[in-house]
Amino acid sequence: MPLKAVILIGGPQKGTRFRPLSFEVPKPLFPVAGVPMVQHHIEACAKVPGMKEILLMGFYQPHEALSRFLVSAQQEFKIPIRYLQEYAALGTGGGIYHFRDQILSGGAEAFFVLNADVCSEFPLQEMLEFWQQHGDMHSFVILGTTANRTQALNYGCIVANADTQEVQHYVEKPSTFVSEIINCGIYLFTPAIFQHIGEVFQRNQQELALEESSNGWQRAEVIRLEQDVFTALAGSGKLYVYKTDGFWSQIKSAGSAIYASRLYLNQYSKSHPERLAQNKPGGPVIRGNVYIHPTASIDNTAVLGPNVSIGEGVTVGAGVRVRESIVLHGASLHDHTCVLNTIVGWDSTIGRWARVEGTPSDPNPNDPYAKIDSETLFRDGRLTPSITILGCSVTIPAEVVILNSIVLPHKELSRSYKNQIIL
């Protein structure tokens, strides 16, 4: 059956927690486990039989990096991929409603909607089969997973019938406990969804007509799937949840990018073993899962991993240690440096014997349902220890220590820093 996929990629005002990395490249293109974040989504969608077209939807202005990415992705996955630019931030529901004709063109009988800022195993085929099995061709499916009781409050919570998986109740970010099953931000819709979104739109318009606001028409089109549509659909027999135990995480902050990298690198041993570096005589020491771009140059006395991604054209000098980090393209790590829990920005340089270190914010490894915390930047007036981020073209001198700090692009440091944002 003909299918489509829509990937919601947001826009510049979204993803501020991803600064300063998002200054250089739109967050959906940020490399996770060696490839752009959204490429993992595209690859999963392209694998589903019957997928006709993939639509990226967001409100970024036309962007060179984005266009180049679309071209190369089309060539690699051999499927049409287009960018639909929303004229304003229309929310998770407003965009697909606005472009409903594009989505349904070509006779699509169902379509997936995926948030770009999640990392997942993407059990799309399984969601499709689940939908086909329970018979109602006009129903919709939300992908859900299990969180622990405290963290579930940070997500959309789903209460479902134990036998049929029909969603009986949906609340977005409740303040009291509702359910451990959370919304993964990945949905399977049929054309009937637009009828429900349309009803929300009508209601918005009516409310705004009473308000006499000049940009009422724009605000009426801002529709949030979660709060406006799912909450209303719960208990109507139209919404179902497909629960997965596969890996899943949000990617809101830089720290979660490193965690997401680890999850995808783990997956590579089955899906893309060619992307994982191997220990070879005369080569650097590789521990655990490591991705190294073919054009990177790594000294054979370096020790990399676990969970390291080395980007295009990166140079890693003698005796360098990198662990739990992402090194973006063009960066240069000089001899004897030690890089831990850090994202090293594009074209940055780290001088000899320097130590660049962050603090991981990983979920509790003893709790199988723990999710990564969406950290606040400050707590009690002090910077929370977190992943160290070097923006693009940052220079770190030799022999210093940079600990739990964020360095904005094009900065040349002259001394050590700890627990600071360096503007």
Partner 1 sequence: MRALILVGGFGTRLRPLTLSRPKPLVEFCNKAVLLHQLEALRQAGVSHVVLAVSYMSEALEAAMREQEQRLGIRISMSHEKEPLGTAGPLALARDLLAEDGEPFFVLNSDVICEFPFEALARFHRHHGGEGSLVVTRVEEPAKYGVVVCEADTGRICRFVEKPRVFVSNKINAGLYIFNPGILQRIQLRPTSIEKEIFPAMAQDGQLYAMELQGFWMDIGQPKDFLTGMCMYLQALRAQHPEKLHSGPGVVGNVLVDPSAKIGANCVIGPNVTIGAGVVVEDGVRIKRCTVLEGARIRSHSWLESCIVGWSCSVGQWVRMENVTVLGEDVIVNDELYLNGANVLPHKSIAESVPEPRIIM
Q: Which residues bind partner 1 (CB under 8 A)?
A: 318-321, 323, 335-336, 338, 340, 352-353, 355, 357, 399, 401, 403, 418
Q: b or e along 215-233 (b: 16 or more beta carbons within 10 Å of the residue's beta carbon)?
A: ebeebbbbbbbbbbbbbbb
Report the nearest approach of partner 1 to the CB of residue 182 (Å): 33
- DSSP code string of 87-131: SS--HHHHHHHHTHHHHHTTT-SEEEEEETTEEE---HHHHHHHH
- DSSP code string of 49-72: TTEEEEEEEE-PPP-HHHHHHHHH
**Residue 182 or 340: which CB sits closer to partner 1?**
340
CA proximity to 37, closest of 252, 307, 188 = 252
**Cα 349 from chain centroid (whole Å):** 27
Residue 93 and residue 185: Cα distance in Å, rounded? 12
Report the nearest approach of partner 1 to the CB of residue 285 (Å): 11
Instruction: Give whole-number Cα distances, 297 to 36, 251, 315, in Å.
Output: 21, 29, 5
**Residue 45 or 339: which CB sits closer to partner 1?**
339
**Residue 233 or 354: which CB sits closer to partner 1?**
354
**Residue 171 or 320: which CB sits closer to partner 1?**
320
Report the nearest approach of partner 1 to the CB of residue 397 (Å): 13
Report the nearest approach of partner 1 to the CB of residue 301 (Å): 8
Cα–Cα–Cα angle for 403, 405, 411, nearest 5°?
Answer: 115
**Residue 213 or 419: which CB sits closer to partner 1?**
419
**Residue 57 or 403: which CB sits closer to partner 1?**
403
Cα–Cα–Cα angle for 369, 370, 376, nearest 5°?
Answer: 150
**Residue 40 or 323: which CB sits closer to partner 1?**
323
Do the strands 118-120 and 110-115 form a parallel or antiparallel pair, or are they unpaired?
unpaired
Report the nearest approach of partner 1 to the CB of residue 163 (Å): 49
Residue count (the chain):
423
Q: Residue 250 has which token pair?
A: 């949000």
Q: Residue 206 has which token pair?
A: 């009516």
Report the nearest approach of partner 1 to the CB of residue 413 (Å): 16
Residue 88 and residue 109: Cα distance in Å, rounded? 28
**Residue 209 or 318: which CB sits closer to partner 1?**
318
DSSP helix/strand/coil, 156 = strand
Contacts of 262 (CB under 8 A, 6+ apart): 289, 306, 307, 324
- DSSP code string of 229-258: IIHHHTTTT-EEEEE--S-EEE--SHHHHH
Report the nearest approach of partner 1 to the CB of residue 367 (Å): 21
Report the nearest approach of partner 1 to the CB of residue 417 (Å): 12
**Cα 381 from chain centroid (whole Å):** 28
**Residue 66 or 340: which CB sits closer to partner 1?**
340
**Residue 171 or 290: which CB sits closer to partner 1?**
290
Report the nearest approach of partner 1 to the CB of residue 405 (Å): 12
Ordered alpha helix ranges (H), 15-60: 37-46
Contacts of 272 (CB under 8 A, 6+ apart): none
**Residue 173 or 418: which CB sits closer to partner 1?**
418
Report the nearest approach of partner 1 to the CB of residue 204 (Å): 51
Report the nearest approach of partner 1 to the CB of residue 321 (Å): 4
Contacts of 206 (CB under 8 A, 6+ apart): none
Q: Which residue has the tokens 């135990």?
A: 245
